[in-house]
Amino acid sequence: MSRPMGRPSQSSIRYSGPPMPAETITLDVFRFQPDGDGKTTFQKYDVPYHEHWVVLDALNWIKDEVDGTLTYRWSCRMGVCGSCGMMVDGVPKLSCAAFLKDYYPRAIRIEPLTYFTVERDLMIDQEGFLGKLKSIKPWLIRDDDQTPDGGEYLQTPDQLASYKQYSMCINCLLCYAACPVVGAEEDFIGPAAIALAQRYNLDSRDQGAAQRADALGAEEGVWGCTFVGECSEVCPKNVDPAGAIQRAKVDSVKTWYKKLLMPWGGS
Amino acid sequence: MKRRYCTPLGPTWFLGRAGYRRFMAREATAFAMAAFLVYLLFLLRGLGRGYHDYLEIIELTKNPIAVFVLSLIFGAVLYHSFTWFNLTPKIMPMYVAEEKVPDFWAAILMGYLPWAAVTAVVLWGVLWWSG
């Protein structure tokens, strides 16, 4: 993991198109070019201020009108895809849900999600997270091989309610950027992956809890979490990964004791 | 050469957000909890050795500095306990007739109420025993 190379420098690019509206807001945007000298900078952009605009609208305006080299991820623009997460004034947020009016007239500092390797500007490398996600097997695991012809796996509303909250995760990674353990321990599986493991473990149709137990019960699994709780605070979908991790800890202890007291079949 | 950059976790990371500061306060007050337990152990040891030894410890802790420090420690112990009571419903959500009990009431039922009940029983026992 590379480390920052001194204090980021400041520079600015000016807009030279049609006259700007009377009200503008300044975005102080983190820049990093992997092909350059490795130095990070902050670039100031004056952007038209509209009350209904979100940070993503402002970034799109910059890219279209001022600086086409600015790089960031986005897709749905409505808080569903989870791809436009970034640090907005130091807080992990979906840029499509962060309104300019909540910051105006102050300048807004925009940075990539913390603790992730930056590919370019505001775009982070998600490979590490995807590996962690795969390690907890986030899919329905069955002991039998029932085909669709065999019918549906029926579920009561209560059974659905037991895991539904955790199934709302959109993998936006805001929880990782809010978690200091992710910053301190590179191998920590992290809030979203553990919440998703819990989502499948609690699903009445799933029979794979034992297969996920090793990854979850490891030091870099649930026991790495110190219950800071900020992952739940920044979650745009109210998934409450902090709660999921603590419940997974309780389940992990129960599994351990069952194995200890009933080695013939306590798993 | 393609370079990479990663925001580091600085040594003062816990000052950055109110939630981090609350977390550190909760964790740091665990030391006060340990100090309070050591003090209680000293009191118990004094009791075990006899009334005279117990009174000696009480006399030692009567000066204003000791009272101030013990009050601080006791305040920190209460903060530590209450923050964990409040977090209990997140760790063990409570259900009644398959309905989730709101966190506020679950904290009262699982934390504050048993704590108050145990305190009342202990107080009653002490008062009854002391005549």
Rounded distance, CA A121 to CA A95, Å?
15
- Asked whether residue A264 carries a pLDDT value surpassing 60, the answer given is yes
Q: Tell me the CA distances in angstroms from A77 to A81, A138, B1, B53, B122, one per residue in order.
A: 8, 26, 34, 72, 59
| pLDDT over 60 (residue A8) | no
Residue B2 lies in a domain: no
Over residues B28-40, mean pLDDT = 95
A97-111, A145-159, B53-67, B97-111, range with the lowest pLDDT: A145-159
State how far Cα A236 lies from the chain centre. Answer: 10
For residue A9, what pLDDT is reported? 54
Q: What's residue A3's pLDDT? A: 39
Q: CA of A121 to nearest chain B CA: how many angstroms apart?
A: 10
Torsion sign (Cα): A80, A82, A84, A86: positive
* Residue B79 domain boundaries: 24-129
CB contacts of A229 in chain B (<8 Å) are 19, 23, 87, 90
Is the predicted pLDDT of residue A51 greater than 60, yes or no?
yes
A-chain residues near B98 (CB < 8 A): 158
Q: In this structure, are residues B70 and B78 in contact, taking their beta carbons and an 8 Å threshold?
A: no
pLDDT on residue A222: 95
Q: What is the pLDDT of residue B3?
A: 73
- Kindly list the residues from chain B whose CB atom is less than 8 angstroms away from the CB atom of residue A156: none
> Are β-strands A9-12 and A24-32 bridged in parallel, bridged antiparallel, or unpaired?
unpaired
Query: In this model, does residue A140 exceed pLDDT 80?
Result: yes
- B21: nearest Cα among A254, A233, A43, A23: A233
pLDDT digits (tens, 9 = 90+) for B46-55: 989 998 888 9
> Measuring CA to CA, which residue among A174, A15, A9, A159 is closest to residue A90?
A174
Crossing angle between the packed helical segments A241-261 and A209-217, to the nearest 10 degrees: 110
A191-213 pLDDT, tens digit each: 999 999 999 999 999 999 989 98
Number of domains in chain B: 1
Estimate to the nearest angstrom the gap between the alpha carbon of A31 and the chain centroid: 20
Q: What is the DSSP letter of A112?
A: P
Record the pTM. Answer: 0.87
Residues B119, B122, B124, CA angle at the centre, nearest 5°? 105
B5 falls within a domain: no
**Is residue B69 situated within a structural domain?**
yes
Cβ-Cβ contacts under 8 Å for A92 (sequence gap 6 or more): A85, A86, A113, A114, A173, A174, A175, A177, A178, A234
Judged by CB atoms within 8 Å, which residues 122-151 of A form the interface with B?
A: 125
pLDDT mean across residues, chain B: 91
Predicted complex ipTM exceeds 0.90: no
Out of B2, B8, B23, the one facing A228 most closely (by C-beta) is B23
Structure tokens that stand for A220 in this block: 């870099």
pLDDT-based confidence at A7, cuts 50/70/90?
A: very low
Confidence (pLDDT) at A265: 63
Cβ count within 10 A of residue A105: 10
pLDDT in tens, A56-68: 999 999 999 999 9
Taking the C-alpha atoms of A217, A223, A225 and A227 in order, what is their torsion angle to the nearest 10 degrees?
110
Question: Out of A2, A36, A158, whose CB is closest to B4?
Answer: A2
Size of interface A-B (CB pairs under 8 A): 81
User: How far apart (Å, rounded) are the C-alpha atoms in residues B61 and B70?
Assistant: 8
Q: How crowded is the C-beta side of A140, counted as CA atoms within 13 Å?
A: 11
| Residue B19 belongs to a domain | no
Q: How confident is the model at residue A6 (pLDDT cuts 50, 70, 90)?
A: very low
Residue B71 has pLDDT above 90, yes or no: yes
For residue B8, the chain A residues in CB contact (below 8 A) are 3-4, 183
Q: Which residue has the tokens 């309070």?
A: B36
CA dihedral B102→B105→B108→B111, nearest 10 degrees, is -20
- Take residue A131 and report the two structure tokens written for it: 């590996």
A194: chain B residues, CB-CB within 8 Å:
none
Q: What structural domains does chain A harbor?
A: 9-124 (3.10.20.30), 127-261 (1.10.1060.10)
**Is B56 domain-assigned?**
yes
Question: A interface mutation test: which of B4, B7, B15 has the most A CBs within 10 A?
Answer: B7
For residue B111, give the CATH number of its domain: 1.20.1300.10
Within-domain flag for B81: yes
- Is pLDDT at A115 greater than 60 in this prediction? yes
Per-residue pLDDT for A2 more than 60? no
Q: How do residues A216-254 score in pLDDT, each as one tens digit?
A: 988 899 999 999 999 999 999 999 999 999 999 998 898
Q: Is B93 inside a domain boundary?
A: yes
